[in-house]
Structure 1
Amino acid sequence: MERMGSIHRKVMVRQHKAEVMIAGEQLRLRLHDGKLIKDHRYHLRTYPNCFVAQEVIDWLVSHKEAPNRQVALQLMQHLIDHDIVHHVCDKSPIYKDVKLLYRFRKDDGTFPFNTEVKVFMRGQVLYEHLISGRDSILQLREEKGVAYQRSFPGCQLIDWLLQNGEVPSRRQGLELCKALLEHGIIQHVSLKHHFFDSGLLYQFCINFRRRRRLSELLSESEQDAEGVAPQRQEERPESPFVLRKNTPTEGNASFMSIQPSDLKVASGARRSSLTNQQVTSSYSHSNSLCSGPVVRCNPKSVLRKNVTCEELLSPGAPFIRRVLTVLGDALGWGFVVRGRSPCYVQAVDPNSPAAAAGVKVRQFVCQVNGRSVLHLDYRTLTKLVMTGPRTVVLEVMEPID
């Protein structure tokens, strides 16, 4: 029991680090969307994909992510302290409310992919696969008279890992699950046991898809510094650590506040659905990962005008047909699809495999891996991509501007 208490304390520290990674990634994507991250020229040198410190402070206050400039400054310093953001020349370890240039480590390839980060990213990938699967093992189950939403027996998770080719052997599956528990990705529903290949119930204790509020980072950090025990997870309705416990009821709406295709990713995760706010990728992401208050509405369409399938396929239509091959990485593919018959690309992570392959906003998706998807809605198309192979061959129709 004492060992489990020690593990739990370590888990809480790692969960906070994970939360910082997700919130930082969601902020990075939002700043890209807001065009605050771009190339800047300073002293005859161009610094790509960076932002002006003062402008981001302005943005945080104006978007109500921070009540004032002082808190905004503390938030950005928190991201520096956790290796999410750095000065472009690494000359200033202190974030200053001036016209200095800073950059997200994800944007310049200096993000430290240590063992902890790799385990976190692997957990995010598994979470996306499990939560999006047609016959998911995440179900409402009881243990000792208490019902837990989206829980799973340990042995069933290892079975799933083997069946889906995630691990080559049961022993390695057990080692992976133990690592996920030790790094705060999953946990026993009552926090009493380590991971065993048995019928004990476990849950993911991080909701990778929930949009984060940056102010949460400071409150959790202050609690850690003061040695104050954090509130129990079930007493914190906005917590990203969503251990749901209640009497048996039908439905799982309380677990997810937004659909897979309404996210942008994550992070720890750059892309958490095809991605990350509003994403649709599976190998995450973000990049889901995603940020801010709970989102319950769809984003505004980027289309200049609505187009029907008949218009897309009519001879002489002002569209160019392209075939694009997107090789997903550990975080996903990095693009968002929306719409219904036909679907279109709503957003693209600028540093994602999708962007590298030529996927662009306002492209209409005609085929996925040789299958026609013109008459599918975005949810069905999303599931098709997320449950398919890592390499996705897209046939798209691109409007001629």
Structure 2
Amino acid sequence: MAAQQKVETLIAGEQLRLKLHDEKVIKDRRYHLRTYPNCFIAQELLDWLVSHKEAPDRATAVCLMQQLMDHNIVHHVCDKRLIFKDAKLLYRFRKDDGTFPFNTEMKVFMHGQRLYEHITGDNNSILELREELGVSYHRSFPGCQLIDWLLQNSEAESRRQGLELCCALQEHGIIQHVAKQHDFFDSGLLYQFCINFRRRRRLSELLNKNDEETTASIQEENHPDSPFCLHKSPPLEGNSAFQSGNKNIPPFKTLFTFLNFTCEELLTPSAPFTKRVLTVIGDALGWGFVIRGVAPCYVQAVDPGSPAAAAGVKVRQFVCQVNGKCVLYLDYRTVTRLVMTGPRTVELEKLILFPVLDHWG
């Protein structure tokens, strides 16, 4: 899953790069008497992403571009910034300045893309409707036939080399067994390309896939054996730098109810919550609080000596807004990025449950 997600991100990034070139968003820029070729200004790009409906708002657009930075697709022209900022800063696609990391993984990906284009464009394509164990599969091919094709088109010098290439393609999520039950073999077993390189990707798909991974991550973190699980008793004093709850633990039913409030329930006038705006001024170490949850998010832990603690942030408070933007419907990773990519001073609007759970903080 991780390999396929990375491939999808690379494809989406490349499609975006080509479109930005076509629309002249990427061009030579002059700054401080120096010309930077093939660059874009972050603010202009975010305007373009929102206006072309690649992102619903600027904050989401920043998150999308941060993903491209995290995958080494985009970078600041001087490589001085690791966080994508909504500012008049120059960024560039690594493919445009020759700094793209062509490691083994990238070579396999590009080889797979080239093979896909060649095979799908062949008049006598090996991709056909075939049957395995009574089930029909569209655009499938036997493993041995793909190796034959590689040999005939000089993509491999021997069957062994062809087999190694096909195994690498499967390992990196480019091809797979039709029923996902077998590794690649030079045999009559059927395989398919599991990536359509020609399909137009929307950048928003990257966040959708991450949301699925986030949900799985949250389930794992809320497992009873997880050290961050809110269902467990808090650590003894002195054993942790973070406060994860009050000593007087509420009953499990109360905790379960807290974690299962929906966004709509939080926003109803009759909801047992009070809103409070807190201003947290980060220091050299950050802000000092941990957010978890998927729509809505809540504060899971607070460093007792941090700026967050000084501002009054406490555990088990729902996060409603960050710097004036509603974040109730966002997952914790997106909210965290909003905080990290914003100003050093963060304004948080929190929903605080009362009176039953008021002793939580």
- What TM bracket, shorter-length normalisation? 0.5 to 0.7
Counterpart mapping for 1:42-57 below 5 A:
42-57=31-46
Q: Does 1:180 align with 2:144?
A: no
- Please give the per-residue CA displacement for 1:136-185, whole angstroms capped at 9, x wherever unaligned: 11100011121111100001111111111111101111111111111111
Separation (CA, whole Å) in 2 of partners of 1:195 and 1:169: 16
- Please give the per-residue CA displacement for 1:44-63, whole angstroms capped at 9, x wherever unaligned: 11111000000000000000
Structure 2 partner of 1:109: 98
Q: Percent identity over the alignment?
A: 73
Structure 2 partner of 1:86: 75
Give SS of 2:5's match: helix
Question: 1:58 corresponds to which letter in structure 2?
Answer: D
Separation (CA, whole Å) in 2 of partners of 1:106 and 1:53: 17
Separation (CA, whole Å) in 1 of partners of 2:217 and 2:194: 20
Structure 1 partner of 2:285: none
Separation (CA, whole Å) in 2 of partners of 1:96 and 1:71: 12
Give SS of 2:150's match: helix
Structure 2 partner of 1:170: 159
- Of 62, 66, 72, which aligns to 2:61? 72
When structure 1 is superposed on structure 2, of 126-135 and 191-200 the one drifting more is 126-135
User: What's the CA shift for 1:129?
Assistant: 1.1
User: What's the CA shift for 1:228?
Assistant: 6.2
Structure 2 partner of 1:208: 197
Give SS of 2:186's match: coil
- Of 168, 181, 184, which aligns to 1:195? 184
Give SS of 2:91's match: strand
Q: Does 1:147 align with 2:139?
A: no
Give SS of 2:126's match: coil
Q: Does 1:27 align with 2:16?
A: yes
- Of 96, 101, 117, which aligns to 2:85? 96
Question: 2:161 corresponds to which letter in structure 1?
Answer: Q
Separation (CA, whole Å) in 2 of partners of 1:82 and 1:22: 12
Question: 2:79 corresponds to which letter in structure 1?
Answer: D
Structure 1 partner of 2:344: none
Structure 2 partner of 1:340: none
Counterpart mapping for 1:320-335 below 5 A:
none
Question: 2:108 corresponds to which letter in structure 1?
Answer: V
Structure 2 partner of 1:383: none
Structure 2 partner of 1:218: 207
User: What's the CA shift for 1:225?
Assistant: 3.5
Separation (CA, whole Å) in 1 of partners of 2:66 and 2:149: 41
In the TM superposition, structure 1's runs of 4+ consecutive aligned residues that sit over 6 Å from their partners are none
RMSD (CA atoms): 1.2
Separation (CA, whole Å) in 2 of partners of 1:75 and 1:165: 39
Separation (CA, whole Å) in 2 of partners of 1:161 and 1:90: 40
Separation (CA, whole Å) in 2 of partners of 1:222 and 1:42: 38
- Please give the per-residue CA displacement for 1:290-322, whole angstroms capped at 9, x wherever unaligned: xxxxxxxxxxxxxxxxxxxxxxxxxxxxxxxxx
Structure 1, gaps ≥5 residues long: 1-11, 230-401
Question: 2:7 corresponds to which letter in structure 1?
Answer: A
Question: 1:169 corresponds to which letter in structure 2?
Answer: S
Separation (CA, whole Å) in 1 of partners of 2:212 and 2:105: 22
Structure 2, gaps ≥5 residues long: 219-361
Counterpart mapping for 1:261-340 below 5 A:
none
Give SS of 1:74's match: helix
Give SS of 2:72's match: coil
Give SS of 1:227's match: helix
Please identify the structure whose Cα radius of gyration is greater: 2
Separation (CA, whole Å) in 2 of partners of 1:69 and 1:214: 13
Give SS of 1:29's match: helix
TM-score by length of 2: 0.59
TM-score by length of 1: 0.53
- Of 21, 25, 39, which aligns to 2:28? 39
Separation (CA, whole Å) in 2 of partners of 1:132 and 1:226: 39
Q: Does 1:16 align with 2:5?
A: yes
Structure 2 partner of 1:252: none
Structure 1 partner of 2:339: none
Separation (CA, whole Å) in 2 of partners of 1:164 and 1:67: 45
Higher RCO (C-alpha 8 Å, min separation 6): 1
Q: Does 1:122 align with 2:111?
A: yes
